[in-house]
Amino acid sequence: MDAERDARWLLQRLREEEDLRPPYRLQRELRWVTQATVLRDEHGSLTAYTELRKHLFAVELTTVVVDPHHRGQGLSHTLVNAAVQSTAARPLILFTRSAALETAVARAGFVQRRIWNPLTLSSVGARALMRCGRMLMLGDVRKLWAQVAHIAAFRCWVLDDEKDA
């Protein structure tokens, strides 16, 4: 597969979608894209993408995105299930304010919870601050404002292996 084409697709999504993390340089995105969980169409083009990021005592399922031309077809279910299968790391957590994504993660066995571990919470917070700094550096006020203004709407979901997926 053409990793550079994948990374450019990802950069485009990161620029367009206000709830996703800010974009980084192509070389850095290339590294992420080769480690990510992805779905492809029959031509090999990316249709969906998500990353796993390590925190202190937790792994976060993040940057969940479906190509705009393929939304509303149930791909988020396939993507979230594939990402869950790709790791044995627990707890597996996710933050979102997207109703569609909440439907998908609930179906995959996630439940809405608080993060009780203060070290995990501080690790998540530190990364969020770094992302805000990056958005400021890029001058991406639209994304920064969208994320800061809606911070209270983001809910934490944790995979519950006991729940029937």
- Check binding of 100 to ligand COA (CB under 6 A): yes
Side-chain-facing half-sphere of 140: CA atoms under 13 Å? 22
53 binds ligand COA (CB under 6 A): no
CA distance 18 to 98: 11
Question: What residues between 71 and 90 interact with ligand COA by CB under 6 A?
Answer: 71-77
Of 24, 98, 131, 160, the one binding ligand COA by CB under 6 A? 98
By CB under 6 A, name the one of 25, 35, 99, 114 that touches ligand COA. 99
Residue 101 touching ligand COA (CB under 6 A): yes
Q: Contacts for 116-120 with beta carbons within 8 Å, 24 or more apart?
A: 117/56, 117/57, 117/58, 119/56, 119/57, 120/55, 120/56, 120/57, 120/58, 120/93
Chain contacts with ligand COA (rule: CB under 6 A): 17, 19-20, 64-66, 71-77, 96, 98-101, 103-104
